Amino acid sequence: MMRELFESRFGSSQGARLVTAPGRVNLIGEHTDYNLLPVFPMALQFGIRILFRPRGDASVRLASTAPGFGDRSFELQTEIQPYAAGDWGNYVKAAAQAVAEHWNLKRGMDAVVSGDLPMSAGLSSSSAMVVASALALLDVDRVAADRIELAELMAAAEHYVGTHGGGMDQAICLGGKRGHAALIEFAPLRITPVAVPEHWRFLVAHSMVKANKSAGAREHYNQCVADCRSAAAIMGDFRTLVGAANEEDVLAQGQARLEDRLFHRFRHQVSEGRRVYLARDAMAAGDAKRFGSLMLASHRSMRDDYLISCPEVDQLVDTAMTSGAIGARMTGAGFGGFVVALTDAANVDSLIRRLDQRFYAARGVSGVMAGHLFQVEPSGGAAVSLA
């Protein structure tokens, strides 16, 4: 389908190349990356693909296989005017502007974009699109970029779309390793793979509440970032505070010095920052029960302190737990989207069946058939190959 679309828009696809960039599921460490606190995601077997062929000029011409994503075209240069907020082409422009500036690239491409990842759902389709676009444009000019440098650059580049995100999504998209989750630390960016125990299974389930980061949820997200800046201006560097020996003291100081809303934001940051390292240790030790209880604690913290969950998501987490999950939590930017649940190989089918019966049937759909409910596999990072 990509090739047919390519040929119908741009002529022969001979010599075209293909970039694949995975989405991700964040296992724990939510809304912590923009405070340079660690996160613990894994790359998915689903993502964004771009079939592309270099052009002789600086035009970037785009078509997409996704319904409603019309053709786009712009010039590769260091200052690119964005489309209207929320336009899909802005994710390509974000990458294009950054690579044009950083590597002085001048050669455009004809490209067809496709994906098998649910959009606006917390699985990072947007960063996969940014990273895929960057890799394609770098490949056009035969630039071999360092992945860590590229991940950092793309995290900053994505601010172009108006969300003040951290660096998790671009890092795991570029640095994912098959069979592994990754501890990601920032400033400097470090990606440390941790093997997912063989019998552990993660599945994701959509709350059926669409969290459109490029529309309303963007303001909520940016408000979280701004609140953390305000709290840090009073309390000092969050990283130092998370590393402090006595968490109770740190929280007591926060309670004394911060107004109520900022204190709750702060408490999530401090507790979640710690949970990431504890969860990494639990996975390394193969302790699923411990990992699951940290996921649940993370969910409660997002629900009660950070205020980024919603009733449908909470209900889905509860349903997962009463259906046999070892742990469950909302994943991604929040305000809807997906829940991630941990189970083991012996129970994964029954958990899927029960979630379908107990959550989705009541909403008149089959979660599995509708693509709302599926197992995720720890997968490798983005790559370019011959098409």
Q: DSSP secondary-structure letter at 39?
A: B
Closest separation between CB of residue 158 and ligand GLA, Å?
A: 7
C-alpha to C-alpha distance for 285 and 292, rounded to whole angstroms:
13
For residue 306, give the 3-state DSSP assignment.
helix
Q: Would you say 19 or 173 has its CB closer to ligand GLA?
A: 173
In this chain, which of 128, 168, 208, 279 binds ligand GLA, going by CB under 6 A?
Answer: 168
Q: Which residues contact 334 (CB under 8 A, 6 or more apart)?
A: 30, 31, 122, 211, 217, 220, 221, 302, 306, 308, 309, 313
For residue 3, give the 3-state DSSP assignment.
helix
Q: Is 333 in the site for ligand GLA (CB under 6 A)?
A: yes
Per-residue interface string for the shown chain with ligand GLA, residues 177-206, x marking contact by CB under 6 A = ------------------------------
276: its two tokens:
């990431």
C-alpha to C-alpha distance for 352 and 375, rounded to whole angstroms:
9
Q: Is 165 in the site for ligand GLA (CB under 6 A)?
A: yes
Q: Is 273 in the site for ligand GLA (CB under 6 A)?
A: no
Q: Would you say 17 or 329 has its CB closer to ligand GLA?
A: 329
Stretch that binds ligand GLA, among 31-39, 108-116, 255-263, 299-307 (CB under 6 A): 31-39
Q: Is 356 in the site for ligand GLA (CB under 6 A)?
A: no
Q: Is 33 in the site for ligand GLA (CB under 6 A)?
A: yes
Using alpha carbons, list the distances in angstroms from residue 329 to 16, 134, 256, 293, 321: 41, 31, 30, 10, 10
Q: Would you say 214 or 379 has its CB closer to ligand GLA?
A: 214
208: its two tokens:
């059926």
Q: Is 349 a catalytic residue?
A: no
Phi-psi region at 4: left, alpha or beta (left = phi > 0; alpha = psi -120 to 50): alpha
Q: Is 269 in the site for ligand GLA (CB under 6 A)?
A: no
Q: Is 309 in the site for ligand GLA (CB under 6 A)?
A: no
Number of residues interacting with ligand GLA: please give it, by CB under 6 A: 12
C-alpha to C-alpha distance for 292 and 302, rounded to whole angstroms:
15
Closest separation between CB of residue 359 and ligand GLA, Å?
A: 23
**Is the dihedral angle over the CA atoms 43, 121, 186, 79 positive or is it negative?**
positive
Looking at 110, 169, 227, 356, which residue is catalytic?
A: 169
User: Residue 277 CA to chain centroid, in angstroms?
Assistant: 19
Q: Would you say 273 or 332 has its CB closer to ligand GLA?
A: 332
Q: Would you say 221 or 263 has its CB closer to ligand GLA?
A: 221
Per-residue interface string for the shown chain with ligand GLA, residues 34-63, x marking contact by CB under 6 A = x-----------------------------
Q: Would you say 118 or 165 has its CB closer to ligand GLA?
A: 165
Closest separation between CB of residue 169 and ligand GLA, Å?
A: 5
In this chain, which of 18, 19, 31, 336 binds ligand GLA, going by CB under 6 A?
Answer: 31
C-alpha to C-alpha distance for 60 and 226, rounded to whole angstroms:
34
**Span 100-129, contacts to ligand GLA by CB under 6 A:** 124
Q: Which residues contact 154 (CB under 8 A, 6 or more apart)?
A: 95, 98, 127, 130, 131, 134, 170, 174
Q: Is 30 in the site for ligand GLA (CB under 6 A)?
A: yes
Strand partners, 180: 195
Q: Is 26 in the site for ligand GLA (CB under 6 A)?
A: yes
Q: Which residue shows structure tokens 């712009």?
A: 74
Q: Which residue shows structure tokens 């979630």?
A: 355
Stretch that binds ligand GLA, among 24-32, 138-146, 339-347, 354-362 (CB under 6 A): 24-32
Residues involved in catalysis: 169
Binding site for ligand GLA (CB under 6 A): 26, 30-31, 33-34, 124, 165-166, 168-169, 332-333
